[in-house]
Amino acid sequence: MALTRKDVSKLFNNAENLRDYPGSYFPALAIAAKAMQQWREENPQAAAEEDALMAELAAREKARRKAQLETGFIGRGLD
């Protein structure tokens, strides 16, 4: 049975719901990570598109933080 990206996300979300229970959380997280690896191997083009989107979002966030620092109290030396 082929997993969809939505199924993999559900596995990660279910693992996060178990965060307060380490005995259940870490095995669930390992299962989710293995499912993600399988999905990436079965869908290399979709995985590459997701990686590109995440890189773009990270670059935007970095630029936003840099601009915020330069215009904020700390960046202008007003603290």
CB under 8 Å, gap of 24 or more: what pairs does 25-29 form? none
pLDDT, residue 1, reads 65
pLDDT, residue 39, reads 97
Residues 69 and 37 reside in one and the same domain = no
Residues 75 and 54 reside in one and the same domain = yes
- How confident is the chain (79 residues) per 10-residue block, as mean pLDDT? 91 97 96 97 96 98 92 71
What domain range includes position 28?
1-42
Residues 18 and 34 reside in one and the same domain = yes
Residues 38 and 53 reside in one and the same domain = no
pLDDT, residue 71, reads 84
Q: What pTM value is reported for the model?
A: 0.77
pLDDT, residue 72, reads 78
How many domains is the chain partitioned into structurally? Answer: 2
Residues 37 and 71 reside in one and the same domain = no
CA nearest 51: which of 62, 64, 66, 40?
A: 40
pLDDT, residue 37, reads 97
d(CA 57, CA 53): 6
